[in-house]
Amino acid sequence: MAHCIAAFQQPYANLLDSSGAPQKYDLPSPRSRPSSNRLLRLFRDLRLDRELYDIIFNIAVFTGDLGHWFEDRKCPFDPLELQKHACLLMYALFNWYAEGGKERTPLDQSVCLGLLIFVVKASHPYDPSYRAIILTTVKKLRAALTTTSIFRWAKSPDLLLWTLTMGAVAAQGSSEVAFFSQYCSVAFADAGCDETTAEELLERMKKCLWIPNVFDEEVKRLWTQMGLVKGEEEDQNEMPNGQEGGLISPEINEDDIVGMLTSARFFPNKK
């Protein structure tokens, strides 16, 4: 799936079920899954495409399961199964986006691409090379956002902030970061976040799709650096858990990205 997302091309393997549709998330859960109605209402209020909404439902269930796995290391979920289902969800989003073509509205496309960034990041929580996978996605998200009126988000303003946050996180180190920084400044101010603390804003994001163990620290740091929330300035090159920034050059092309991913996977210690 890394090549599929990085180059926005069909994957080498067939990930469709017997009916020709992307497989659904069906991982049995050892826990009682809480209702996602409040979260799904945020997406429903935007009147999104029905097929995309069905994918969002599956992502909501997956997010709860993955969050549970991060919080409880005794959780019986098989991490390989979670990774497999993350790939299936990535493909479902890619397939929806690719098959619809010009019929998809810019708003629907923006949500889809934000979701794709979310799933890729969530399934590569400590691997900075994930930004190479989604560089093309970030560019497509910028294009979709520029053709979507901000008023189209009026019924779910928190989803706009969430989508922009996903884009800003993924755009770090690329030429796209300036766009997301500028748009965030406008949208966050318009949403009344001028005097909001990072913790208060996180509470709003947690009403959307969110995994605290994956996103909290990095996003708080990014919001502070961008001047979106009250807080002290931090070292812009500092990353959580001692990671390197994983920043990528804006001049890197798609073939280079695939090569980087292959090298990182099979030769992780090679400098």
Mean of pLDDT over the chain: 80
pLDDT at 83: 87
Please state the rounded mean pLDDT for residues 230-237.
54
Whether residue 20 lies inside any domain: the answer is: no
67-81, 166-180, 231-245: lowest mean pLDDT where? 231-245
Give the number of other CB atoms < 10 A from CB of residue 43: 22
Q: Which domain holds residue 111?
A: 2-9+36-266
| pLDDT higher than 50, residue 223 | yes
Whether residue 112 lies inside any domain: the answer is: yes
Q: Residue 27: pLDDT band by 50, 70, 90 thresholds? A: low
Whether residue 18 lies inside any domain: the answer is: no
| pLDDT higher than 80, residue 193 | yes
Whether residue 22 lies inside any domain: the answer is: no
| pLDDT higher than 60, residue 244 | no
| pLDDT higher than 60, residue 238 | no
Convert the pLDDT of each residue in 75-119 to its tens digit: 777 788 888 889 899 999 999 999 887 789 999 999 999 999 999
pLDDT at 247: 37
122-131, 154-163, 181-190: lowest mean pLDDT where? 122-131
pLDDT at 101: 74
Whether residue 55 lies inside any domain: the answer is: yes
The string of DSSP letters for the chain reads -HHHHHHT---SS--B-TTSSBPPP----SSPPPP-HHHHHHHHTTT--HHHHHHHHHHHHHHHHHHHHHH-TT----HHHHHHHHHHHHHHHHHHHHHHGGGS-HHHHHHHHHHHHHHHHHHSTT-TTHHHHTHHHHHHHHHHHHTS-GGGGTT-HHHHHHHHHHHHHHHTTSTTHHHHHHHHHHHHHHTT-TT-BHHHHHHHHTTSS--HHHHHHHHHHHHHHTT-SBS----TT--GGG-------TT--HHHHHHHHHHHHH-TT--
| pLDDT higher than 70, residue 25 | no
Whether residue 23 lies inside any domain: the answer is: no
Token couple for 151: 């008023």
User: What's the number of domains the chain is made of?
Assistant: 1
Alpha-carbon separation of residue 9 from 6, 20, 99, 137, 205 (angstroms): 8, 18, 11, 12, 31
Tell me the residue type at 134.
Answer: I
Please state the rounded mean pLDDT for residues 256-271.
42
Whether residue 21 lies inside any domain: the answer is: no
Please state the rounded mean pLDDT for residues 131-142.
92
